[in-house]
Structure 1
Amino acid sequence: MKTIQKMYEHLNWANHRILETLQSIEGETQEVSRLFSHILFAERVWITRLQGLDSSRLPIWSETDIEVCAELVIQNEESLTTLLTNLSNTDLDKLISYTNSKGKEFKNSVRDILTHVALHGQYHRGQINSRFRADGIEPVNIDFITFMR
């Protein structure tokens, strides 16, 4: 459980760092905003599933602005913190049934879902940093080891 807890502390830290950079950039960064909102909407979908609720009507890809992203960063952080606080080691092996955005049903363990969400966000934050670099913007250091230092 400690490893998963650290992964989520890192996830929240990294989301805040990306958000701060986006808020400081002048001009439109449409593709970066689209990738960042996707991370946050996907987190929301998985949080909803982990809560045993229907996620089928939630967006995964949606055009939105930085203010909505800022709200989602806070909402997701609060929801994930509550979820992890109430989770025991035995809960990690519990199977969660859910329907994906295409209507297909799946079952995965809480552990696998939490691992997926953390890795999914890190993958897309890497894409965001590649876009930043291509646009002449300094990439955001979101390395786990930097977080741990």
Structure 2
Amino acid sequence: MTNFSLQFYQFNTWANEQIFKRLKELPEETYRQEVQSIFPSLSHVLAHVYLSDLGWFDVVSGKDLQHAMSLARERKEEIEAKSLVEMEQLFADLSERYKTFLSKEENLPKQLTIQHPAGGVMETTVGDLVPHVVNHGTYHRGNISAMLHQMGHASVPTDYGLYLFLFA
């Protein structure tokens, strides 16, 4: 039986790698260039995605959401200040942690009770939370693509269908 959560997360890793590869092809200043968009720069988008992914990893590892959100607020400026190469390494390291965790089948049905400050209580499983993490990344890769076009640069395809054609 295929571990869909792990496969879907591996797609997320691949898609992020495509974004980093593309950004490293562009002039260095593109990463921090200010743009009128949902985020002020590409560096801010990537910091947001990383901190969100890190927070959800803490949650699936047994920490509470309030703790994860507090850590994200504390580390926001530090992470936004990272270079593109440093961000790429942070993403790669976190991806390895996720893949190791998700490869253990016993972790997927693990029950989670998540208390959100504005959304109440959610009962879910680790396996059911993975699509949220991946979908969040997909959404913000779309932001990155739009911002690149706004700056006069082409983006790169990162959709799940392409991933399946390449790797399934």
1:43 equivalent to 2:60? Answer no
Q: Is the CA contact 2:102–2:108 (under 8 Å) kept in the aligned structure 1? A: no
Percent identical residues: 22
SS in 1 for 2:71: coil
* Gap regions ≥5 residues in structure 1: none
What does residue 31 of structure 2 align with? 29
Q: TM-score, normalised by structure 1?
A: 0.83
CA distance 1:101–1:41, change in 2 (3 Å): farther
Q: Is the CA contact 1:43–1:117 (under 8 Å) kept in the aligned structure 2? A: yes
1:99-138 alignment, distance < 5 Å:
99-100=115-116, 106-138=122-154
Q: Is the CA contact 1:56–1:101 (under 8 Å) kept in the aligned structure 2? A: no
Larger radius of gyration: 2
One of 55, 59, 72 as aligned partner of 1:59: 72
What does residue 82 of structure 1 align with? 100
CA distance in 1, matches of 2:72, 2:139: 19
CA distance in 2, matches of 1:141, 1:111: 26
* Gap regions ≥5 residues in structure 2: 33-40
| RMSD of aligned residue pairs (Cα, Å) | 2.4
Aligned residues: 147
CA distance in 2, matches of 1:33, 1:140: 17
SS in 1 for 2:152: coil
Q: TM-score, normalised by structure 2?
A: 0.75
